[in-house]
Amino acid sequence: MPLGIPPKYTVYGVIGFAVSFCGAIKYYSRGSKYKGKKNCLGKTFIVTGANSGIGRETAFNFAKEGGRVILACRDMEKCAAAKKEIINFTYNVQVICKKLDLASIKSIRQFAEEINKEETHVDVLVNNAGVMRCPETLTKDGIEMHLGVNHLGHFLLTNLLIEKLKGSVPSRVINVTCSAFVNGKINFKDLNSEDSYEEGVAYSQSKLALMLFTRELSKKLQGTGITVNAVHPGMSKTAIMRHTRLYNSKISSFFFWPIHFFVFKSVDRAAQTVLFAALDPSLQDVSGKYFSDCEEKEISENALNDEDAKRLWLTSEKWTRLT
Ligand SMILES: NC(=O)c1ccc[n+]([C@@H]2O[C@H](COP(=O)([O-])OP(=O)(O)OC[C@H]3O[C@@H](n4cnc5c(N)ncnc54)[C@H](OP(=O)(O)O)[C@@H]3O)[C@@H](O)[C@H]2O)c1
């Protein structure tokens, strides 16, 4: 040993470095925690896809802070289980289950009609539900599933609730997108992916569509007191991955566990930016923005394309039979 360091200390040094390095990655990737005010008392929140993952965690936090929370889910058994769990932990009985299948225009219209009739106000709408990399499937109205659920379902829902949101100002719409929109492209020539279908491409397109919708809607609502923002929650191992090998195969899970452990956030941390966008008082007049890790992030060029946003809006109106 030229430096005269005994081999066992070299080994300890290497182990110490590796542990610190992994610890640093884990610490950095766990994501931020929203530490601002969480004033939910007297407010009504709607969370789509609230029976699992980030949606359930978000709904749980609203309920914990005393909000009235409407769990908007397609599967009423799963919805009832989530409701029970949330009430058991929060002692807040103002947690309500409502049927909403975003893959059905009829179901969305029925849900909106009930909300408009039964609720006196809606303060925050969290468009959280989503599908990722599912096999080629169509919604009940013949729309490619990613586009139909992630974008068009929420497009129609938000528009049908707009008068209620106007009557509840200051109110907020939060669209839960995914950073994958950066690689997305709106393929107007084959928007419904009929000529060719690739799961990843369809997912990115749908999340880019949600980004364009966020900005276009925020422009249309300027000065009304309703804000519209988009949030990337960060990577978290939830049921959204049900169609991926990483989720289903034991072999992949075994080899990729370091990615899960070191890079993915807990569901609690993934919900933090949604809570920030929904509750932070500093964002009362902030609209048309994109947040990740509890801070505003720059929007990529493809999501800043106003021409695409306008064209997509008109197409979305037609496809959802809004007008
Ligand atoms: N987890 C991540 O790494 C990650 C990263 C970036 C963005 N996101 C986004 O975060 C959001 C929440 O995802 P998650 O990770 O919490 O996944 P999740 O646990 O699978 O939650 C998705 C929710 O959407 C619901 N949903 C799916 N199709 C629906 C439909 N047709 N109508 C109504 N609800 C429907 C699901 O209901 P069922 O339980 O009945 O299927 C579920 O409640 C998604 O928009 C996702 O794209 C997640």
Residue-wise pLDDT for 51-65, tens only, equals 999 999 999 999 999
Nearest CA to ligand 1 atom 47: 130
Residue 1 predicted with pLDDT over 60: no
The least confident of 42-46, 106-110, 237-241, 294-298 is: 237-241
Question: Rounded CA gap, 197 and 186, in Å?
Answer: 13
C-alpha 149 – ligand 1 centre gap (Å)? 10
pTM as predicted: 0.93
Using CA atoms, how far residue 152 sits from 49, 57, 172, in Å, is 15, 24, 19
Instruction: Give me the domains of the chain, ranges plus CATH numbers.
Output: 31-319 (3.40.50.720)
Confidence band of 261 (pLDDT split at 50, 70, 90): confident
Rg (CA), the chain: 21
Residue 238 CB–ligand 1 contact under 6 Å: yes
Take residue 169 and report the two structure tokens written for it: 């100002």
- CA atoms lying within 13 Å on the CB side of residue 63: 27
The least confident of 194-203, 207-216, 257-266, 299-308 is: 257-266
Tens of pLDDT, residue by residue over 187-223, are 999 999 999 999 999 999 999 999 999 999 999 999 9
Residue 205 or 12, more confident = 205
Residues marked active site are found at 203
